[in-house]
Structure 1
């Protein structure tokens, strides 16, 4: 009778580590939440604060995560021209793809005519305030103080300050290294805190799913089923056909292989309905895939504010749905005007639950105020559509990172093949605080040497040369 080597036993157990159990728990929580929502709807609605609290914890970490990531990404590049090349290319790509996504939403909306047969004239929805003009939107990127973006919820202000900080660290040269080291330690701390928060994902997913099913019920879901199905099919076609074809043409990477590699992140997004919850994992996985740290550090955080393909599709389809349902369908000219306006409005939406709904309300308030009350009908199924938005946004940003890395020649193609084939699996410990940056380890070693007692030198063996 032969015994199984210890190394093999550890390798078998590795497939069900603590991280795997977490994602399995999310699946179970989602299923239980749906059952509770159907069986005891009143009790399920009372569980909504669980989901709200979890998303609030995630949103709490977004500003420091984006700040540290961009500062490290920009500050680690030797020449500012490289940052401009990566950032300019990324922003140009994001604008083109967002416009295409908005246009696709309009095309599909005109084909299926969602909202026909509904009487939504009595619907109501309270807006948070008057929508901003384009000039107000641009001026709003400039924060009140240098540190205020870190305590607020405006992601664009965080991006602005982080870019300024990164360029300043470049200009400081060697004198900026201690500051850069401090930011890297801060990044490790922030990622560690977020990894602790993610252990509450099953509880948050259970509360969110139970509440939305308890509120809407099966009948309400079926009444708006056409819009939901059309939206999801449109998102799938956009990711698999349009983005998938572009990805293969540029990088020769199969989109399904990339999606398989990001499987755990998709599961986390489905459970939390937030692409932000997978932000640190996407950064770590794209770097592991072979894309350079500067490209990842600039493209991914910027994409979370500027590359919201799923949100773009949602905005146009939901707008047409509301207009038709309220008996005030839009003309082609009005739809084109809406598209132009939403190109700007969608840039202010973060990838968290509820942002798409708020952007839809703000966009209609500014462009078609007579339709804003129809947003109240969308609220019932927004939670379900939010998952589609988050998954599409996340996929678009992952694909964009590979594309930008390829165009700027800052991706290891051979490593991409090895990782996607499973030869180089992702190490989950990379997201733990134990996984340090090599530069930080070297700096710590130098610091220990500099501060160590002189008596230690006597224990060293003499060095001889031959």
Structure 2
């Protein structure tokens, strides 16, 4: 019992419960707590770029064999594309089966979106310029290759390793603020939107959570089982990170500790350093489920019939545009706008219906993204025989 009160998970959980109570009892006060969650995420984000840089550089430089680096990278990319595409199918299938968009919207006072042409202003160059995660990823790969071929490789690795050690040490103490961040994020959510306001769109929220749970337990569970890992044991091992993401609605908040946890599970440092940062940019399973279901939801709201050709087009477009949903806050709406504009048949104005409940679905997206990236790291580690000790 004493061990429970010394565990950070306990305090994060207590903070989430307290936030929900405050949001219901004093919503105006709860909304003002937003700064706690926002500041905590901003502090964590300061560590994202240096952690990605050092882990990837050390991972590549420490391997010695650049062919191995290329092999791991290729395996990761292939896995990302296959699994994230499958998650798009799941989102569409759940949307078509349970029809969350077949609801009475007459009581919803939701403004029409005023910027339906924003997709025309979307630029991949601008996206790359604003996405510091991808920038750090590219620079780190280049530096890692240079260090790998340097005559003083061992000395440089030792120096960078010491810096990374102190970086994670500082982050360890900052993570003690996680309960405050979780409290602020959850209090704002409940206080701002309340519980009753979700009733007209509760079916959509339930479908997103249900599809995410199915993906994690059945799809990822089957993949992990093939590699000898019990999905429930895996989820138990990362429960701290899941609770943190639940409170902050940001998978980025758990990135540093997730990398540490995966190494502790048995994944090699080199694989973790390559797969996790790349996955945060290109392997967003939860986001893919949400995006595909959102398109179907809006089509149902406007009673737009989706034939087979429309469904194929939705998947093909989202296979490309969903990769732009990483690293930029609010980019999910840009991706949806781009997709709907490309389809022409579904009104872009329908995005306005998602504004009221998007916050409640962001937890499902972020948690699924986190779990999916961790699973990808385990799979690649296993396939490379870089997994030293099983977690089950």
* Normalised TM-score (structure 1): 0.76
Look up the match of 2:91.
105
What is the CA–CA distance in structure 2 between the aligned matches of 1:182 and 1:124, rounded to whole Å? 55
**1:279 is matched with which residue: 252, 255, 265?**
255
Cα deviation digits, residues 267-317 of structure 1 (max 9, x gap) = 222122222222222222222222222111111111111111111000011
Residue in structure 1 matched with residue 370 of structure 2 by the alignment:
394
The answer on whether the counterparts of 1:353 and 1:383 sit within 8 Å (CA) in structure 2 is no
SS in 2 for 1:123: coil
Cross-structure match for 2:23: 37
Q: 8 Å contact 1:44–1:210 — kept in the other structure?
A: yes
Matches of 1:409 and 1:361 in 2, distance apart? 42
Structure 2 partner of 1:64: 50
Residue 143 (structure 2) pairs with residue 165 (structure 1): yes
Deviation at 1:142, TM superposition (A): 6.5
Structure 2: runs of 5 or more not aligned: none
Name 1:247's counterpart in structure 2: 224
Q: Distance in 2 between matches of 1:367 and 1:81?
A: 41
| TM score, norm. by length of structure 2 | 0.90
Q: Residue 121 and residue 88 in structure 1: after superposition, are their counterparts in 2 closer, same or farther (change >3 A)?
A: farther
Quick check: 1:296 aligned with 2:260?
no
Structure 1 residue 91: Cα displacement: 0.2
More divergent stretch after superposition (82-91 vs 210-219): 210-219
Which deviates further from its counterpart, 55-64 or 187-196?
A: 187-196
* Matched residue, 1:89: 75
How many residue pairs align between the two structures? 390
Structure 1 distance, partners of 2:238, 2:116, is 35
Match of 2:239 in 1: 263
The SS at the match of 1:252 is coil
Moved more, 61-70 or 121-130: 121-130
* Residue equivalent to 2:215: 238
Contact 1:23-1:267 within 8 A present in 2 as well: yes
Equivalent position of 1:184 in the other structure: 161
Segments of 5+ residues of structure 1 without an aligned counterpart are: 1-11, 144-151, 421-466
| Residue 448 of structure 1: aligned partner | none
Q: Structure 1 residue 118 and structure 2 residue 105: aligned? A: yes
Residue 180 (structure 2) aligns with: 203
Residue 318 (structure 1) aligns with:
294
User: Is the CA contact 1:274–1:351 (under 8 Å) kept in the aligned structure 2?
Assistant: no
1:351-430 equivalence runs, <5 A: 354-365=330-341, 367-368=343-344, 371-412=347-388, 415-416=389-390, 419-420=391-392
1:127–1:362: 8 Å Cα contact kept in structure 2? no
CA contact (8 A) 2:105 2:200 kept: no
| Structure 1: distance between partners of 2:43 and 2:334 | 19
1:125/1:375 contact within 8 Å kept? yes
- Give the match's secondary structure for 1:187: helix
8 Å CA contact 2:212–2:286 kept in 1: the answer is yes
Question: For 1:426-451, what per-residue CA distance to the aligned partner results, in whole angstroms no more than 9, with x for missing partners?
Answer: xxxxxxxxxxxxxxxxxxxxxxxxxx
- Select 1:212's aligned residue among 189, 196, 200: 189
For residue 156 of structure 1, what is the aligned residue in structure 2? 134
Alpha-carbon shift at residue 365 of structure 1 (Å): 5.0
Which has more radius of gyration?
A: 1
Is residue 298–residue 346 contact of structure 2 (8 Å, CA) maintained in 1? no
Distance, in Å, in 2 between the alignment partners of 1:71 and 1:54 is 27
Contact 2:57 2:141 in 1 (8 A): yes
Q: Distance in 2 between matches of 1:168 and 1:131?
A: 38
- Structure number with the bigger relative contact order (C-alpha 8 A, sep ≥ 6) is 2
